[in-house]
A and B are shown apart, each in its own frame.
Chain A
Amino acid sequence: MAAGTVLEIDHISKRYGDVVAVEDLSFDVRAGELFGFVGRNGAGKTTTMRIVLGVLSADVGEVRFGGTPLTFDSRRRIGYMPEERGLYPKMRVADQLRYLGELHGMTDADARASAQRWLDRFGLAERRNDELQALSLGNQQRIQLAAALVFGPDVLVLDEPFAGLDPLAVDVMSAVLREQADAGIPVIFSSHELELVERVCDRVGIIDRGKLVASGTVDELRAGGHERRRVDVPRAADDWDVGVPGVRLVESDGSRRLFELDPGVDDQALLQAALATGPVRAFERVEPSLGELFRTVIEEAGA
């Protein structure tokens, strides 16, 4: 098994008694791609990641890498950062990384060198002989990421890697993830920070109640949604009715109005209606943020 291949999640389902955790979920994470996995709490993100890692088994469906179903041995090549951070609190930082490297099949010398390299990279070389519990939470999180990277994984699966990080640490984390993706491995991570996901990820998957409700690049997600225009019309009456079919007022802020256009509606009709009220100071196309897209998608899925 080599890097440069696709991770396929193929129609997986998992239920706990009557509770459906994941239902018929399918998506791909391509080689060299950063895939952001977003969804509300309890939507099924962690369950999906645990199934990929084989820590949980799916009731139905399979996970493939490079076209072949994941086995125990190929799963060992996945770097994993669980949502519940977990390392030995009383073990020395460098020993911990070495141990995990060896468990993943590295020789002692390789594991030692790799642990040192990642400690250097995260600026923690001087703390190498400290017990993990002596480190700040942010530094513990860096070690947790190093634990996922130490053996040179073929796939990275990270559950909420940015949670609790300060802005500088966020930069380091996203740089490392980008670097790993650029090296040709599929990287999937979950996050609640949609702005960050929008900035960092190549593609996004939105999961709700165990189902994938949208996936694609942020632009692709936008293409599926409604276009928006912001219009500044100082002379318009407060109860100004545009009177153009397929155009809805979304919000109103003084003289500035935000409209949403149904697919296929010509925005020039809106502009003419605006000009009819008097001067138009601004007429701009507004791209919805991932956060807005997320809310729209979730609302539609729930409807």
Chain B
Amino acid sequence: MNARSLSLGGAHHLPATFLVARREVRMRMRSRVFVGGTIVMTVLVVVGIVAASLLAGKTNPVRVGFSGGSQALERSFTATAASLGASVTVSDIADVTAGKAQVTAGTLDVLVTGSSTAPTAVAKEAMPSNVESALSLAAEAARLSDAGLSPAAVTSAMALVPVQLLQPPNPKDNENLFASLALGILLWIALGQYGNMVAQGVVEEKATRIMEILLATIQPSRLLAGKVIGIGLVGLLQLTIVGAAALVAVHVTNVAAIPALGVASILGDIFWFLLGFLFYATAYAAVASLVSRQEEVQSAVAPIGILQIAAYLLVYAALPNPTGPLATVCSLLPPFAPILMAVRMADIDVPFWQVGLAIALTVASIVGLTWLAGRIYANAAMRLGTRVRFMDAFRG
């Protein structure tokens, strides 16, 4: 039986863009480059986080041991240390000599000996100043109490000076901003990587000449959109795997507080990453279709790389004044919006109309770019050999 009669039904055939995207996902997930690359990236990120936690060991609580009469200070020392922002753990040490041996061995950071009113501290190399202050304040409170003051009088005597801020920092705390900024920049770098993958894929189709068969079957803009979407999904999967491993590593090593990365800001970063990816990947694909050999891809896509770096540098130029004209205008423009708007949104409350305008402009430019790239793609696809000039490809 002839296949022709089978295919005429056509009721269940899938859209070409979907088929192209599905092929990209399947082929790349099967490739050793993808599997190996994901494993290497995951290992590097986890090793990096573990190394950071080892280097930043000082963030572990200071272990303070109390012996003899000074043990009476434990409770007030802990409370005072907390109010001074020092993270401590306390323990009872029965024997002073054994305690000193522990300090020398590094299993204990500080040993407190003597009475509660005149304690002495023993440390190995240095004593954290806030731990020292907390201990001094605890001893002073003990002396006041010893002198006959009531507990309430001691508390009021020892009260810290209240501080009034005339210009409180914006409600989005700093840690949140830096985490979001770091994530945004990492995604920006990833975006360049996946954009390059799209460029390589386009040139592969041109170099292996399958383009001619494909373009006889499917409109260039759909072929291009399928490729961009497929590689985008693969990229998102890879980032999710690496990101999940990083979160687990951060949680286990306790190197930073995970809640610092608010869910909303992560989602915001990912949303802008996707828009940025669609914008830049389409541009990468269009430019890559002008060349025929893998060796020429790098020089062809260089202008887009420069645009990306410019956007990255603009972040630093605009960040000190996130409501100024430079930051406001640039965060609305499609080539910069995906990173600048994401950063501004993490930093301040951006007016709704600005966010909406930036999204609308970016989406509109993605649609326009897909049309333009499809046109260039179709006209440049059949020209092998020398690099095709942009205007020739545009005119056809």
Contacts and interface: CB of A to CB of B under 8 A. Distances in A.
Interface stretch (B53-61, B76-84, B136-144, B205-213): B205-213
Given A50-B382, A75-B216, A80-B213, A89 B7 contact: no
B13 interface: yes
Contacts of A15: none
Interface residues of B, number: 35
Contacts of A54: 216
A56 B382 contact: yes
B299 interface: no
A296 interface: no
Contact of B209 (A84, A107, A152): A84
Contacts of A91: 23, 27
Contacts of B7: 101, 104-107, 110, 151-152
A84 B4 contact: no
A72 B219 contact: yes
B307 interface: no
Contacts of B14: 102, 108
Contacts of A56: 382
Contacts, number: 98
Contacts of B209: 82, 84-86
A53 interface: yes
B396 to A, nearest CB: 8
A100 to B, nearest CB: 7
Contacts of B20: 103
A137 interface: no
Given A88-B208, A102-B14, A82 B3 contact: no
Give the residue among A78, A117, A151 with the most B Cβ atoms within 10 A. Answer: A151
A128 interface: no
Of B7, B12, B13, B26, the most chain A CB neighbours within 10 A belong to B7
Nearest to B12: A107
A147 interface: yes
Contact of A102 (B19, B211, B213, B214): B19
Contacts of B215: 55
A225 B325 CA distance: 82
Contacts of A106: 3, 6-7, 13
B210 A103 contact: no
A257 interface: no
Given A50-B382, A56-B382, A152-B6, A100 B211 contact: no
Interface string A165-201: 0000000000000000001000000000000000000
Most B Cβ at <10 Å: residue of A78, A87, A103: A103
A3 B3 CA distance: 13
Interface string B1-26: 01111110111111010011001001
Contact of B27 (A57, A90, A117): A90
Given A99-B19, A106-B13, A152 B212 contact: no
Interface in B6-51: 6-7, 9-14, 16, 19-20, 23, 26-27, 31
B217 interface: yes
A114 B3 contact: yes
Contact of A88 (B5, B210, B396): B210
Nearest to B207: A86
Contacts of A147: 213
Using C-beta atoms within 8 Å of the partner chain, give the interface range for chain A.
Answer: 35 or more
Contacts of A64: none
A86 B213 contact: yes
B265 to A, nearest CB: 39
A11 interface: no
Contacts of B210: 86-88
Contacts of A89: 208
Interface string A11-25: 000000000000000
A248 interface: no
A78 to B, nearest CB: 7
Contact of B13 (A82, A90, A102): A102
B365 to A, nearest CB: 26
B230 to A, nearest CB: 12
A183 B212 contact: no
Nearest to A76: B217
A227 interface: no
Given A101-B7, A107-B9, A152-B7, 20 more contacts: A3-B4, A55-B215, A55-B381, A56-B382, A76-B216, A80-B212, A84-B384, A87-B208, A88-B208, A90-B27, A101-B3, A103-B19, A103-B20, A105-B7, A105-B13, A110-B7, A113-B3, A147-B213, A151-B4, A154-B4
19 contacts: A50-B212, A54-B216, A55-B382, A57-B396, A80-B212, A84-B384, A85-B209, A88-B210, A90-B31, A100-B217, A101-B7, A103-B217, A110-B3, A110-B7, A113-B6, A114-B6, A152-B4, A152-B6, A154-B4
Interface of B: 2-7, 9-14, 16, 19-20, 23, 26-27, 31, 208-219, 381-382, 384, 396
7 A-B pairs closest in CB distance: A86-B209, A152-B4, A152-B3, A86-B210, A84-B209, A114-B3, A82-B212
